[in-house]
Amino acid sequence: MQPQESLRPVQGSGFKINDIVLIAHGTLPDQFSAQKDLALCKQTLEINAVSPVLFAEAFAGHMEKANHGTLGIIGSVAGDRGRKSNYIYGAAKGLVARYAQGLQHRLAFSNVKVVLIKPGPTDTPMTATFKSQGLNLAPVEAVAKRIVKAIDAGSSEVYVPAKWWLIMRVIQHLPSFIFARLNI
């Protein structure tokens, strides 16, 4: 299918949308810097939470009118439980996760799918400092293939790589008195 063939007019909008929209942008500042600099904290929240939600809402309305489409939203495993190492970024991604769940509920009886994608650390420019610290990062190609597969399937939520589902289940269910002792 050629890109032009996948565009469908939205009745009454004078605007065309694609079958699939992927909202994939963000920034990952140093946690210590963001907690000390309120302007950086605000910017982190706006880029990672407010902006993706506003983009998604704009597209969702058109998709809902057309009763067609898939909206992929990049969240993060960081949004599953607040951790001292990245709680500002994690809070932003937590907001994205709750928004996506609400949007899924809103569109449950339509033909519009909302896919929340939760990558773990991935080898991108955003995680360059992690790579320099020797952290094992997921290859971009593998993450991209899993995202495409999840969007094609219309999955409601996908962890990328899949191992992060189990890792985050364990982290989410650790009792607070144990979790507080972890240096993560």
pLDDT > 90 fraction of the chain, expressed in percent and rounded: 80
For residue 12, is pLDDT > 50?
no
Q: For position 127, what pLDDT does the model report?
A: 86
For the chain, give the DSSP string: --GGGG-EEPTTTS-EE-SEEEE-------HHHHHH-HHHHHHHHIIIIIHHHHHHHHHHHHHHHHT-EEEEEE--GGGSS--TTSHHHHHHHHHHHHHHHHHHHHTTTSSEEEEEEEE-SBSSGGGHHHHHTT---B-HHHHHHHHHHHHHHT-SEEEESTHHHHHHHHHHHS-HHHHTT---
Q: For position 15, what pLDDT does the model report?
A: 41
Q: What is the pLDDT of residues 112-169, one digit of tens each?
A: 999 999 999 998 888 888 888 888 899 999 999 999 999 999 999 999 999 999 999 9
Q: For position 128, what pLDDT does the model report?
A: 82
State the pLDDT confidence band at 73, using cuts at 50, 70 and 90. Answer: very high
How is domain 25-179 classified at the architecture level of CATH? 3-Layer(aba) Sandwich (3.40)
pLDDT > 70 fraction of the chain, expressed in percent and rounded: 90
Residues 37-62 have a mean pLDDT of 97
For residue 170, is pLDDT > 50?
yes
For residue 6, is pLDDT > 60?
no
Domain edges within the chain:
25-179
For residue 184, is pLDDT > 70?
yes
Q: For position 37, what pLDDT does the model report?
A: 98
For residue 1, is pLDDT > 50?
no
